[in-house]
Amino acid sequence: MRASSHHKLAALSLICAKLFGVVSADTSSLYNQNAGKADNIRSAMLASIRTSWEQGTAAGGILEWNDSEYSVFGSSPFASNGKFPLDTLQLAYSAAVRQTSDGRLSQNIGDALDGAALDGASAGSAVLLGSFADTDTSRSSYWLNAAQAELNYILNVAPRTSTGAISHRADSRQYWADGVYMGFPFIAYYGAVTNNATLLQIAYDQCRLYRDALLLDGPTGPLWGHIYSDDTMSWIDSGLWGSGNAWAATGMLRVAVTIQKTSHYADMKSQVSNLTSWVKEILDGEFAALTSDNLVPDYLVGGPNFGDASSSAALASVAYRVAKLYPNQFGSNYTTAAGNIASAVLGGITDLGALSPVVDPLQWSQVGLLSTEAQAFALMMLSAMRDYLGK
């Protein structure tokens, strides 16, 4: 090829890059134009009635948005830096006050009949944070005891499947993709805060066992089915649910980053690299299946495929995080896709601050009006964009 065609080609690709850059919405201007929406996204979340997993996920969103230095993506995740994480601890406090005697956090609502084994643990990290970051040290043991009781429940009381996985349900043996966010980041976090490598390994193993049980072949590559019963050895929901895959990816990413920030990382590189490759598997499968409105479909297989801003926000948050943390593994196509998704999600926020359209968190095949987890995912997405941009 002659030099002049090289130049023409270079010029052409520059024009293309600019065109595509515009189409995919530049992350910086997207963030600047929309960060102000966080106030209403956040207040709609805090105004909503919350069940156990919603309380924990809300605390996770607030942690990343308002007390970001203490999140596992932040600068001081396992020790106090002197700042009082008020917003996060307010949510953690209610989770601990509503803990049942078996150790599950956020359970004492609706006659304490919550059948989930792992959902309460979603507030576990925020509660454990109180044990060292609460500036009123007279509460340290209150936080630590609450976190310890939750850890004891999931490790020693919750039923186990035939492979040793912790059941997502309290009175049967079931794998739910949701459990990967609910339970395993807390186990890893507890391991990091107490310098316990056994717990870090347990958190990894639980992710691995859940993936082994739930991974299916989909039209765009392997993705996770939603619910499998180990009691009947059959699927309860074999659908490739966007939110289920989002829970799995957000959970595994947090476990990976937590392990990586401890001194045990030197001995656990293989665990971390497996986790990030499993996160990649989910992003690749879901991002290849976006709807025409640039959202993740509610179900890719096995249910309706309307665009769902909830799983979309969660997976866009994951893409921005991995692009920043693992740039060699995740090229610019991840942030291009994340930018398109984020633009669609942020463009759909209503005047009540609610993400729309979203899957109904209680009826997985229906569009809902308000999803607490979607609100939290949007805060996680804005936090990930802010960190990606180095703001």
Ligand X SMILES: *[C@@H]1O[C@H](CO)[C@@H](O)[C@H](O)[C@H]1NC(C)=O
Site for ligand X in 194-233 (CB under 6 A): 196, 198-199
Q: Is 284 in the site for ligand X (CB under 6 A)?
A: yes
Report the C-alpha gap between 296 and 218 in whole angstroms: 14
Tokens of 17: 């890059």
Which of the ranges 161-169, 246-254, 329-337, 359-367 carries the binding residues for ligand X, by CB under 6 A? 329-337
Read out DSSP for 314-340?
HHHHHHHHHHHH-TTTS-HHHHHHHHH
Q: Is 38 in the site for ligand X (CB under 6 A)?
A: yes
Q: Is 40 in the site for ligand X (CB under 6 A)?
A: no
Buried (b) or exposed (e) across 156-190, using 16+ Cβ within 10 A? Answer: eebbebeeebbbbbbeebbbbbbbbbbbbbbbbbb
Q: Is 70 in the site for ligand X (CB under 6 A)?
A: no
Q: Is 100 in the site for ligand X (CB under 6 A)?
A: no
Q: Is 331 in the site for ligand X (CB under 6 A)?
A: yes
Question: CB of residue 386 vs ligand X: minimum separation in angstroms?
Answer: 11
Q: Is 39 in the site for ligand X (CB under 6 A)?
A: yes
**In the complex with ligand X, which residue's Cβ is closer, 69 or 360?**
69
Q: Which of 53, 153, 186, 287 binds ligand X (CB under 6 A)?
A: 287
Measured between alpha carbons, how far apart are the two ends of the chain, in Å?
A: 43
* Paired strand residues for 174: 229
Which of the ranges 5-13, 52-60, 76-84, 331-339 carries the binding residues for ligand X, by CB under 6 A? 331-339
* Paired strand residues for 235: 228
The alpha-helical segments, DSSP class H, found in the chain are 3-23, 27-34, 38-47, 52-66, 86-97, 124-133, 140-152, 179-182, 184-193, 197-214, 242-260, 269-287, 309-325, 332-347, 372-388
**In the complex with ligand X, which residue's Cβ is closer, 145 or 196?**
196
Site for ligand X in 257-276 (CB under 6 A): 270-271, 274
- Name the residues that contact ligand X, by CB under 6 A: 38-39, 42, 65-66, 87, 155, 196, 198-199, 270-271, 274, 283-284, 287, 331, 333-334, 337
